[in-house]
Structure 1
């Protein structure tokens, strides 16, 4: 397999651990080990204290899969496979696709959602989000035009990274109906699910709506636990899940035993963990909206609907890539330009999930003030 370099990850590799300020992280405020362990109940505390560092079950710890399956009723633990989130994408694409298959991908998107398919020889067709009336918008007529008898897979991501877009429940139903009529599989990246600002807008997981849908989720974003490297696939299609399991035997085989127990603790404390993170996101959203709105017309702020990221536009004359390079080298502020998602137009990502965003915006504001116009 020949696969293109992962632009976003290479960009983070250059700057994430050297820049003083990160404007563009996608995760929520991470947890200290001691704070997470303090949430353990009697059963999980005993699991942790008696943990042996041996191999684990390749599908995932039974208790862990039971907790995950609660998100996906009527699916059961047998229809869940654990894996690192990026690994799960790789597994699913390899299990579903052959050279020559047609794949429709909602964009902008995390690069592996289309790059793995392309590397496997699939024909990838872009289905872009557009900005209408100052908001991100979904063109379902465009999806209908893209779907063919030869379409094998449709790939979506809601809440969307990097835009924060979320379709309405009605749009979600229509999207699934279009995919079902085409007979294609639906791969639904739901890593930012649970971070809806209005819980009534939360969409049901794709795998509970369509028998050929695969839901991807994990603990990196909404839970603020990327260091656990814990994600999963959920799907009602038994043949598909068997293919994913067979392929996983050639990747990690099984998950980290400590990560599994810590993940069970986190999932059993979901309500408290997610509510803490949502409070941070909501406060930062108001702060970012005010900051970019006060920058003298140099930015166009576009409100996200959900999730821990936003995707505003830089309106200056120079390319946003040049602004980003200046910001990180002269002010120590790392900002991710839209080109890291293959998306132009001056967009860049703003992370809303970490407590220090006001400090980051202050540093960016000082730099913008120094450079003028």
Structure 2
């Protein structure tokens, strides 16, 4: 990996300015969280006692044995030996994309995607091609477009499903066709699966990439579908042990190891993972009609499309002032944060400039939507 100055991480810069300063965080990308007490209440009495007795020393770079066993249990074919823990999904993405491609290599990334999926390989010296999801067709993934983009130098195809920010989920046939294409052409599939488990239709939940291909890489985290970003626990799962060992050595330069309390609590949460995700799906299912009703009452300004998976959506703004000015005015005037389309702009492929990200995974969006509505009503009067 070649270390060069990296471009500004637009999403994090924007949220650093507004996430905790504004009254209403209506663009949250994580599901409803739990308190430590609520989480420990989902464990056993032994868990509650053991948590208070954890020594606060260093732990294994790979992650504790208990955490890796709990992570492995969420896969069909992976064991603890196939798991490497990271501090959040971003550290995992940073090293996976940095290690797998460099000068002379080629990477394919679906667009829109999480920014570091494209900026890390670009700053590592790789060539990167974007394959856009089709907004006119429900953000559909075109496997034939991926096929056409593959070169002899292509090392990685990187995807993010359920997609951030669109909430799109490919059907099973398309997903397996992508996996088969990557295997056929000797290209590694890197799959960001952080919203898996929050599909509105459980039949749409895709098999994890690491369960389908011996070289594929699955990336996941406690932050999104489990609603625990404060733990800062993510991981990579893959049957490619040589890659995992390389990633582990690179991790020595960043976090070295995780935090004892976080990895303990993450293991407890994964043990109750089905219950936690079911709770979060129920919250989202209850919220979606509320958001649909809100946007229907302002249909001259917005086109609403609910997410197929995950807890973010990417509605269209129809106002003449443009989505950038609109989002800025909304947060500065009403204290309501949304992410404008420029946050997801890509140098690789066009992302519609009239969209914004909104979060649907938090309990009681009523106060935020009420502030949003007052803002819109006030605008109509001027």
CA distance in 2, matches of 1:350, 1:296: 16
| Structure 1 residue runs of 4 or more that deviate by more than 2 Å after TM superposition | 42-47
**SS where residue 135 of structure 2 aligns?**
strand
CA distance in 2, matches of 1:209, 1:26: 27
For residues 10-55 of structure 1, give each alpha carbon's deviation from its aligned partner in whole angstroms, at most 9, with x where no partner exists: 0000000110111111001111111112222144234312200000
Residue 367 (1) aligns with residue 375 (2): yes
CA contact (8 A) 2:317 2:354 kept: yes
Describe how 1:45-60 pairs up with structure 2 within 5 A: 45-60=48-63
Q: 1:270 aligns with which of 251, 265, 273?
A: 273
CA contact (8 A) 1:213 1:235 kept: yes
**SS where residue 132 of structure 1 aligns?**
helix
CA distance in 2, matches of 1:10, 1:240: 31
Residue 93 (1) aligns with residue 97 (2): yes
**SS where residue 110 of structure 2 aligns?**
strand
CA contact (8 A) 2:70 2:267 kept: yes
**What is the aligned-residue RMSD (CA, Å)?**
1.2
Q: 1:249 aligns with which of 252, 267, 274?
A: 252
Residue 28 (1) aligns with residue 31 (2): yes
State the shift of 1:350 in Å. 0.9
TM-score by length of 1: 0.97
**SS where residue 137 of structure 1 aligns?**
coil
State the shift of 1:185 in Å. 0.9
CA distance in 2, matches of 1:303, 1:355: 17
CA contact (8 A) 1:148 1:182 kept: no
CA distance in 2, matches of 1:120, 1:189: 20
Structure 2: which 5+ residue stretches go unaligned? 346-350
TM-score by length of 2: 0.95
Q: Residue in 2 aligned with 1:3?
A: 6
State the shift of 1:292 in Å. 0.9
For residues 263-292 of structure 1, give each alpha carbon's deviation from its aligned partner in whole angstroms, at most 9, with x where no partner exists: 111011112211111111111112112211
Q: Residue in 1 aligned with 2:344?
A: 341
Residue 306 (1) aligns with residue 326 (2): no
State the shift of 1:197 in Å. 1.3
Q: 1:138 aligns with which of 138, 141, 145?
A: 141
Q: 1:117 aligns with which of 93, 110, 121?
A: 121
For residues 281-316 of structure 1, give each alpha carbon's deviation from its aligned partner in whole angstroms, at most 9, with x where no partner exists: 111112112211220321111221111010010011
CA distance in 1, matches of 2:270, 2:338: 31
Between stretches 297-306 and 148-157, larger displacement belongs to 297-306
CA contact (8 A) 2:27 2:339 kept: yes
Structure 1: which 5+ residue stretches go unaligned? none
Give the 3 Å change call, closer, same or farther, for CA 66–43 of structure 1 in structure 2.
Answer: farther
For residues 190-212 of structure 1, give each alpha carbon's deviation from its aligned partner in whole angstroms, at most 9, with x where no partner exists: 00001011111110000111111
CA contact (8 A) 1:312 1:347 kept: yes
Describe how 1:112-261 pairs up with structure 2 within 5 A: 112-132=116-136, 135-261=138-264
For residues 59-88 of structure 1, give each alpha carbon's deviation from its aligned partner in whole angstroms, at most 9, with x where no partner exists: 011011001001222211001000021111
